[in-house]
Amino acid sequence: MKFCSLALLSLTLLFATGLDQRAGAEDFTESWYLSRGRSNMEIDNYKAAIEAFEKVVERNPDHREALRSLGLAYERQGLKDKSIETFDRYLAKYDDDPEIAFKQAQALEWSRYSYREKDLLKYYRMGLKRKDDPAMRLKYASHLAGRKETAQEAIAQYDKILASQPRNAQAHQGLAKAYAWLGQNDLALYHANLGRQAVKREPGDMTALRHDMLKGREPAVEGVFSVLAQPTTPFELYGVRIGSRGKMDFSPFTTTTLEAGAEHFWDSSENRTGGYLSFGNQLRINPANRFDLLLEYHDAPRGDGLAYKFEYVYEGPSVLIRPGVKREFRYDSFAALIGSRSSGQLVGLARSTQFYTDVGFDLGSTRIEVTPFVGWVTAESLSTNNQVGLTVKTTTPLWETDNWNVSGEYLFYLTHYEENQSGFTPSPVEPRAGGYFSPQVFLNQIPRLAATYTFDEKQDITFAAGPALQYIDEATQASVFRVGGDAHVAYTTHLSKPWLLKVMGDYTQIASVYSRIQGNALLVYTFY
């Protein structure tokens, strides 16, 4: 029994010794090939290095150094496909090597590997996760910026670069392209301009992008001419205005307009002449949000000559919301606009202040715009006249061809004044004229047809017209329904590339109360 045990122990010792000797031999062989591979890499004998590293990988497919070195040897020998294949295997197991990850990403930038764009992006992300390399981040971001679906991710990468390198021209240029993909033209133009400032010569594609972003926003100068005729007494008013308007973007986020000129107004007994100045500015926060401001001063009136408008605008894909406040002149009569002294005492000078919210949305193919408002009207020698109202406009497409675009429109206006201050009805307390049309209830409904005809790319004509069914409650006489009308026409022609002419005409009939005819002409020169 002892003999058997001793024999078994001896056999076990002999087997274990054999295994150790075999493992030691394999370790020696692997080390020898690794050493040979390293030596050949140092003397640029890449063919011999490849043979050595291949031997190691045959014996141990997961050997980190051998896989890495084999990929480098293939690359330096010019065996691109084998190098990429080897690095794919290496990075699948060892994703903590930013140097090889970046190298693999750049190798996949070759046009012959364009089908592997997702892998390219994956390797850039892998490298950046371990090492913040601005040059590699810039390359990664440039690939992301090339497509709309990855533009937002590109913006995040460019922002990281600019946090440490605020004057990096390539980052600004890349941001311009990414924002252009997303339709954020203001930010695209802003970064295109910063990129232009940081280089001596702007790349051609960036020049083209800036021109695209400026379309419709080019600086322009306009000649303005307007006429007004309202012959019906006692709402009689005639006027003519001539001026000049300039428009310019002083930054990618603002558009500023400035208009100045002279105007003359009269009726059968009085007239006034004066100058006017108008300043407008639009501040765009982003494509969906902006602020609009308009300030005007006119010195033809015998007193208060200030008007303004301030709006916040949200314009989403399917809804528009525009709350605001405005102060306007009332053009209902000479007295309302200018102020009259025909009776010795100054009367009129009616000024309307309104708080409102425009809401626009689509209901199927119909566009609906609803505007509730509340405010007041002030006039000389009269108490403040409160008002509240609602306007609604619906537009439904009816017919469209290459030249014609026809739609049906319905306009609804409802206004309630606290009291009638027209002042043209005989009264024991005359004069009390505000001179503006202010029945306690005024309802105006206008169904009309609107059409645009395009002659060619250079000229078109637009017109809209329809009857008006009006309800007027003047408190001093029976409430009745009356018939009026509304018409609008506009003609636009491009005389040449920088020159544009636009002529517009409007006609409004308020029952038998008054009719108004307005004409406007704009001659525009655009600086391309």
Decide if pLDDT at 476 tops 70. no
Q: How far is CA 105 from CA 8, 117, 170, in A?
A: 59, 9, 19
pLDDT of residue 234: 84
Please state which CATH number belongs to domain 2-213. 1.25.40.10
**229: enclosing H helix or E strand:** strand 220-230
- Going from N- to C-terminal start, the domains of the chain cover 2-213, 220-526
- Residue type at 164? S
pLDDT of residue 287: 85
Decide if pLDDT at 142 tops 70. yes
> CA torsion sign, 74 to 75 to 77 to 78?
positive
Domain 220-526 falls in which CATH fold? Answer: Porin (2.40.160)
CA dihedral 177, 181, 184, 185 (to 10 degrees): 60
What's the pLDDT tens digit per position in 312-348? 999 988 899 999 999 999 999 999 999 988 777 888 8
Q: How far is CA 363 from CA 314, 322, 396, 413, in A?
A: 18, 18, 10, 20
Q: Which two tokens stand for residue 257?
A: 């307009």
**Integer Cα distance of 297 and 260 in angstroms:** 10
> CA torsion sign, 163 to 169 to 170 to 175?
positive
| 50-64, 425-439, 476-490, range with the lowest pLDDT | 425-439
Contacts from 394-403 at CB under 8 Å and sequence distance 24+?
394/366, 394/367, 394/368, 394/369, 395/366, 395/367, 395/450, 396/365, 396/366, 396/367, 397/365, 402/454, 403/453, 403/454, 403/455
Q: Are 510 and 484 in contact (CB under 8 A)?
A: yes
**Integer Cα distance of 231 and 68 in angstroms:** 92
Q: Which two tokens stand for residue 248?
A: 């310019």
Q: Are 198 and 173 in contact (CB under 8 A)?
A: no
pLDDT of residue 28: 57
**Integer Cα distance of 196 and 177 in angstroms:** 13
pTM of the complete model: 0.76
Which residue shows structure tokens 């122990």? 9
